[in-house]
């Protein structure tokens, strides 16, 4: 694997990790804030945490799917 490919995949892994942390962490923080403001126990925390996890999975899939299809096409060409 060339240095260019290593850097490309390292960038993708970093982006995936940051996207997951932002989606999940954002949902969690917003849920905790809403629960404190509205006086609910953990209703919004749980709902927004689950929404953040779902959003993270969708974004990760959207980012990985094109790369996987590129790799399959590259292997077919060989």
Domain ranges within the chain, ordered by starting residue: 23-70
pLDDT band at 2 (very low <50, low <70, confident <90, very high): confident
- pLDDT one-digit tens code per residue, 15-46: 999 999 999 999 999 999 999 999 999 999 99
- 42 secondary structure, DSSP code: S
Model-wide pTM > 0.75: yes
With DSSP H G I counted as helix, E B as strand and the rest as coil, what are the percentages for the chain, rounded to 5? 90, 0, 10
């Amino acid at each position: 694997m060339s240095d260019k490919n290593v850097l490309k995949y390292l960038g993708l892994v970093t982006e995936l990790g940051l996207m997951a942390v932002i989606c999940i962490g954002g949902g969690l923080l917003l849920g905790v804030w809403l629960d404190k403001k509205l006086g609910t126990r953990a209703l919004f925390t749980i709902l927004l945490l689950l929404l953040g996890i779902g959003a993270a999975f969708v974004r990760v899939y959207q980012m990985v799917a094109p790369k996987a299809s590129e790799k399959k096409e590259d292997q077919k060409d060989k």
